Amino acid sequence: MVMGCRFFMSTTLSLAATATATLQEFASNHAKGVAKVVLKKGKTQLFKDGSPMVYSGAVDRIVGRPPPITGDLVLVTDGTEKPIGWGLYNSVSMFCVRLMQLEDEAAKDPSCVLNVDRLLESRIGSAVELRRQLRLPSAQTNAYRLVNSEGDRLSGLIVDIFGDEAVVASSAAWVEKYKQQIRDCISKTNHVNHITWRPSIDILKEEGLDLSHSRGVDLSHSPRMALENGIYYLVSLEGQKTGFYADQRENRLYLSSISNGQKVLDVCCYTGGFALNAARGGALSVTGVDSSSPALEIARENVVLNNLDPRVISFRKEDATHFMKKAIANDDSWDIVILDPPKLAPSRKALQNASGMYRNLNSLAMQLTRRGGLLMTCSCSGAMTQSGTFLRVLQGAASMAGRKITVVRQAGAGCDHPIDPSYPEGEYLSNVLLRVQ
């Protein structure tokens, strides 16, 4: 038994040594050579644990001549220059390396080591398989997220599917560099016949790329139609937004299940996602409010697409705050109110100011909710969700409104938006259902 244990320990240590050597060997045999990004003392464990974004403040030095340039493959090492993984370098961004594969993963799957083409095939294939396990697409839904950045181990890459259309959101320099390879992988996905590329212009500027004069989006076949929970939506591919957000799919379905016989108000309704589900769920009346004329045009077309009764569901073009204040003055109220404003806190710096806006909007929404009714309130600001203060803001709103609230349900994005627990910053959506008294 002792000899067996010693043999097992010896074998384990040998395998560990081989794994380390494998990554080093791949780097030394690479045709162009591979620089090393050496981490500061005390910073290694975070990335060993899987955090994919190596920020510049964690880097002690870079070993390699000539130094790497944006898009180059690099090893990320501890202070002794022992590799912990490899990734893609950026000389400008605050995230100087996006880790693609850790050292132990490289030992298990050497085919992907320092090979972005093979890694893309593997990761996108894995993302497709996960959605199949989640029954996406299905007879009821063909609008979903296929690749969710860090959640699918491809930091900076988002792919949304709308029917046979794949919409790629690029927010990292490496994604732009490997644009064709990404297109090739996505084109092999069943049901995808068209690919629209949407570079995130402002974010890519921080990555050192100026694409402000790039056309970026193919418009030859827009708009298209998507199916979600048995409801049809027009998806406009013009501009920088699709006019449809699949992240609320499960929350919209839940709303539909509680809307029967209710009077419903959808504030900041955009193209009518929640409003349509409430009407389909049997609401007595549904009113959608938004300040965007193009969005409301699509919302009204969606009503016709789904053969919904226009006497039950209607939309109004008006500023949300102005509408709610006027409705309060008229002593109007609704059984269910949905408040889903646009991103109010694009960064942590904007969080304090945004908290005030969320508080004021929710205070008005609570006053429009009949006593004992329900308010479904949302935040798509990652800074708000990650701060953990959204419930506190809602309590402040309740105090302003002179109401008492109870949390009935808390949710985030759907299951097609996986989150890497080593990168909780990927969580951005909050959906809270409140009872208002």
Q: 160-187, pLDDT tens digit by residue? A: 999 999 999 999 999 999 999 999 999 9
Residue 30, pLDDT score: 79
Single pTM value for the model: 0.89
pLDDT band at 33 (very low <50, low <70, confident <90, very high): confident
Which of 67, 81, 72, 73 is CA-nearest to residue 39? 81
Contact by Cβ (8 Å): 55, 76: no
Residue 238, pLDDT score: 61
SS3 at position 328: helix
SS3 at position 366: helix
Residue 143, pLDDT score: 94
Q: Identify the H or E element spanning 11.
A: helix 2-28
User: What single DSSP character describes residue 345?
Assistant: -
Residue 222, pLDDT score: 56
Token pair of 264 as six digits: 């419903």
- Positions annotated as catalytic residues are 380
- Amino acid type, 287: T
Residue 380, pLDDT score: 93
CA atoms within 13 A on the CB side of 37: 30
Contact by Cβ (8 Å): 259, 336: yes
Tell me the percentage of the chain whose pLDDT exceeds 70: 91
